[in-house]
Amino acid sequence: MKRNIIIDCDTGMDDAQALLLALRSPAFNVLGVTCVNGNVTLDKVMINTLKVVEHSGTDVPVYRGAAQALIPEKSQNAPEIHGSDGLGNLDFPAPVTQPADENAIAFTIRTLMAAKEPIDWIMIGPLTNAALAMREEPRILGKIRMLTMMAGAIDFGNTTAAAEFNIFADPEAAKIVFEADVPKTMVPLDPLWHGGQVNKEYIDQIAARKDLPWCDMAAKIMRRTIDMAAGSRRRYAMGEGAVSPPDLLTVALAIDPSIGQFEQYQVRVETLGQYTRGMTVFDRRWNREFEQGTHVNQMAVCLSADPQKYGQLLVDTLAK
């Protein structure tokens, strides 16, 4: 049976690939895509998300959410990573569809409260929309089967030495979500360097199906990612022609968790540190709550992934 999904994003090059996978997956029934400020400004995120949904061959509604972080002056964008348009300046045609009239927070609350079966909530951007929805209607927590988020880092950050972008962009929102009493899965940066990569052989198979608009878009973005990363300093080698889009791995793990290896940790968000604002702090010490799995900050954290299983899922979902 298909799982009902809400996916929250800040489209972004890797969000685009992740959305295409979610929208094409036979495992998912995507009820709506909600948008938040992040990789680029919310206006650009809306345009990018509509372009992606149009390329997916579906008509899933797209909702406008928060244009700023909970502390507005701390809002972040990352055009240096995703290109000034957020999609690598690849000149995909302008969207012909429009966002839904309803606001993302209102849509999320309405949909979760009306759900007969628990819903999967996937977050691949800053956690502002999720925090706002949880604060406005805490009863939604009882309606969530699993909250899966691309968030944080164990070893080192990408935006600062300590912090990963989605958390750094709104640590106050992340704290609300991390403290929510729901089952949580966290995909930090770390598995990207430990098997969570898409190898060239799979990219080539997706690129070979350029007759399918979702494959054409995904392959173009993957290849642009390789070009853009060519000059950058990488701490871990990934192999020639491979990519490791964080949001794509997150959606793949939500579809099939057996792609990854997970450990249970208590995870907290640093909101104050001089050098560590937005850092995720992993408590791996033993305590009774931990053993019983009852602490609200406890979550399944992905540490590594199987690149063959991951690549095959992408090809089977997108290119067959």
Residues in touch with ligand BDR (CB under 6 A): 12, 14-15, 39, 78, 81, 124-125, 150, 158, 164-166, 246-247
Cβ distance to Ca ion smaller for residue 120 or 247: 247
* Residue 8 · residue 104 · CB < 8 Å: yes
164 binds, among ligand BDR, Ca ion, none (CB under 5 to 8 A by kind): ligand BDR
Residues in the chain: 320
Angle at 198 between CA 194 and CA 201, to 5 degrees: 130
**Residue among 67 and 106 whose Cβ is closer to ligand BDR:** 67
Closest CB to ligand BDR among 212 and 305?
305
- Say which of 8, 10, 15, 190 is annotated catalytic: 10
Contact 271, 169 (CB under 8 A): no
- Whole-angstrom distance, CA of residue 105 vs CA of residue 168: 21
Number of neighbours of residue 156 by Cβ within 10 angstroms:
15
Is 43 a residue of the active site?
A: no
Contact 151, 174 (CB under 8 A): yes
Nearer Cβ to ligand BDR, position 105 or 150?
150
Distances (CA, A) of 80 to 13, 18, 51, 77, 176: 12, 20, 21, 9, 28
The distance of closest approach from Cβ of residue 128 to ligand BDR in the complex, given in angstroms and rounded to an integer, is 13
Residue 261's binding partner out of ligand BDR, Ca ion, none, with CB under 5 to 8 Å set by partner kind: none
By CB under 5 A, name the binding residues for Ca ion: 10, 12, 15, 124-125, 247
Q: How many CB atoms lie within 10 A of CB 142?
A: 12
CB of 80 to Ca ion, least distance (A): 15
Whole-angstrom CA distances from 256 to 17, 71, 85, 250, 320 are: 16, 35, 31, 10, 18
At closest approach, how far in Å is the CB of 189 from ligand BDR?
6
Phi first, then psi, for residue 271 (nearest 5°) are: -110, -5
Do 242 and 199 meet the contact criterion of CB atoms below 8 Å apart? Answer: yes
Between 14 and 270, name the residue whose CB sits nearer to ligand BDR: 14
Q: How far apart are CA 217 and CA 198, in angstroms?
A: 16
Partner interacting with residue 78 (select from ligand BDR, Ca ion, none; CB below 5-8 Å by kind): ligand BDR
As measured in angstroms, the least distance from the Cβ of 281 to ligand BDR is 17
Minimum CB separation from Ca ion for residue 1, in Å?
28
Pair type for strands 260-269 and 280-283: antiparallel
Cβ-proximal residues to 113 (8 Å cutoff; 6+ apart), any chain: 137, 139, 140, 143
Nearer to ligand BDR, 58 or 158 (CB): 158
Q: Residue 215 binds which entry of ligand BDR, Ca ion, none, with Cβ cut-offs from 5 to 8 Å by kind?
A: none
Please tell me whether the peptide bond between 12 and the residue prior to it is cis, using omega within 30 degrees of 0.
Answer: yes
Tell me how far, at minimum, the Cβ of 127 lies from ligand BDR, in Å: 11
Residue nearest to ligand BDR (CB): 165
Q: Which tokens hold the place of 297?
A: 């900050």
Residues assigned a catalytic role: 10
